Chains A and B, each alone.
Chain A
Amino acid sequence: MLKPVNQKAWWLVLPVIICVAFSAILPLMTVVNYSVQDIISPERRVFVGTEWFVSVLRDEDLHAAMLRQLAYSFAVLAIEVPLGIALALAMPADGWRASATLVLVALSLLIPWNVVGTIWQIFGRSDIGLLGAALLAIGLDYSYTGNSTHAWLTVLAMDVWHWTPLVALLCYAGLRAIPEAFYQAARIDGASRLAVFRYIQLPKLRGVLMIAVLLRFMDSFMIYTEPFVLTGGGPGNATTFLSQYLTQKAVGQFDLGPAAAFSLIYFLIILLFCFVLYNWMQRVGTASAPATGDRGSA
């Protein structure tokens, strides 16, 4: 059943366009404007063409931040996706225990991001925090403010704690959509637990997993608040990721030109991933359309 064509629907979308245009297109145009000029003072500005882009692309600090960012995003995916799947498989399917588990698991997603930072700041300190004290007790000289490896691992642990529930909830919803008949058939065939996972559950989870991977990749790619509160990007530059670096440039040093050029490059990278995500969701949406229809009429 196809949706009817109706050009008047544009009027309904118009308010959204105006709102978002004011707060997205206008600023983006400003960024483009800055990225090609050298602003010496509000009255004196010089057109510099692509100079800022060239200098930003050659910036060693940026390369380092980019590498850290990529390493971080991949580490996040490598831990959170398997853990999320395992968690979804372990969660009870129905009854009050399912509700309770769901709420407890989802809790960390709804904590303000700076409070996530604060929680781990307290938790990880070796004088007053449980984690820090425990690590100290087993003989590790742990300090997230002094040692860059420790800082990096703490930020990673914090992200796993914060966002694994998202992957788990997505997979949980995906698992609940598998009809009981599939499992019955597998039992009759005498399939092992591993075979059930490999040939029934995993293929059915493909769609939601792809969404989870892309969402986690993009969100970790723009992480700012949590490391800002926990380590402030330090020690040194160990936890300075892209957003942090950009903010330092834009607000800290007021380097308008390079910051704007950097913003645009950053934006284009995100746009690329968005495009992939969007097309995936469209495909998943079409594939699960019959199921949505059933739910609607039930």
Chain B
Amino acid sequence: MKEARWRNVFLTIYLIFALLPIYWMVNMSFRTNDDILSSFSFFPKQLTWANYAVIFTDPAWYSGYINSLIYVAINMVISVTVALPAAYAFSRYRFLGDRHVFFWLLTNRMTPPAIFLLPFFQLYSTVGLMDTHLAVALAHLVFNVPLAVWILEGFMSGIPREIDETAYIDGYTFPRFFLTIFLPLIKAGIGVTAFFCFMFSWVELLLARTLTSVDAKPIVATMTRTVSASGMDWAVLAAAGVLTIVPGAIVIWFVRHYIAKGFAMGRV
């Protein structure tokens, strides 16, 4: 089994390459700044939780997480709610211009946010939405709604149409069928969709940073700003970074069986 050995060697090397940078940040988050700058070591000699304590006690830091979570949650709820009926329509029926609408949605997912930056800035200033959670949530709809429709459509197409037809023959109305029979069937799909909406809203920086200044400032912006102001506090920066990875790492474990499938449809 010479080939199997080579495979494992290659895989191990790649995993080291993949995990080392992350490990390095985790390592740093448990050390003090003096320790980081004075000595070079592969593991913290003295484990300290002080960096995490800074984040959990300083409002400038932890409010960033709260702001991010608020707009991500608003965005996730709106995205999934409006995408569900639309995805059903795309997966079950043909109608005038369906392919064109689908393509148009796809283009929004692929458009660089930088293009929308300028008009968003103007639009939200005019309506008085600047520096609110709602502004960021609405702005992120541009790429999350198409994504949600796309993923959900894939999952819905996997459910045989006979189920719908049987339900209608049994006298179910559309809303009742949709809510009581269909939604439970695609639970996994909704979970995966919500996960990706969460993720893409959580990782976005450009729009979130431009549309907020104080009240709704997200953690991603806090990380790029406070750091330069306080003269590179590497240890706290590393701790903040570790904390932003945690939600993704938790959720990925729950959806691990579906992730390959979601990616396989090329819909992410």
Contacts and interface: CB of A to CB of B under 8 A. Distances in A.
Contacts, number: 293
Given A112-B244, A274-B107, A281-B266, A31 B118 contact: yes
A112 B22 contact: no
A273 B241 CA distance: 34
Most A Cβ at <10 Å: residue of B3, B88, B108, B241: B241
B107 A270 contact: yes
A229 interface: yes
Contact of A104 (B18, B83, B96, B146): B18
A274 B106 contact: yes
A292 interface: yes
A260 interface: yes
A113 B205 contact: yes
Given A5-B95, A119-B22, A161-B17, A247 B248 contact: no
Please tell me the size bucket of the interface on B.
35 or more
A20 B141 contact: yes
A101 interface: yes
Contacts of A256: 118
A27 B90 contact: no
A170 B265 CA distance: 8
A15 B108 CA distance: 16
A30 B264 contact: no
B86 A13 contact: yes
A159 to B, nearest CB: 13
Contact of A23 (B83, B118, B142): B142
Given A114-B223, A169-B260, A170-B266, A267 B93 contact: no
Interface in A84-114: 86-87, 89-91, 99, 101-108, 110-114
17 contacts: A4-B92, A9-B89, A23-B116, A87-B10, A102-B260, A105-B15, A110-B249, A112-B244, A118-B238, A122-B25, A128-B40, A130-B24, A169-B259, A170-B266, A267-B111, A267-B115, A274-B107
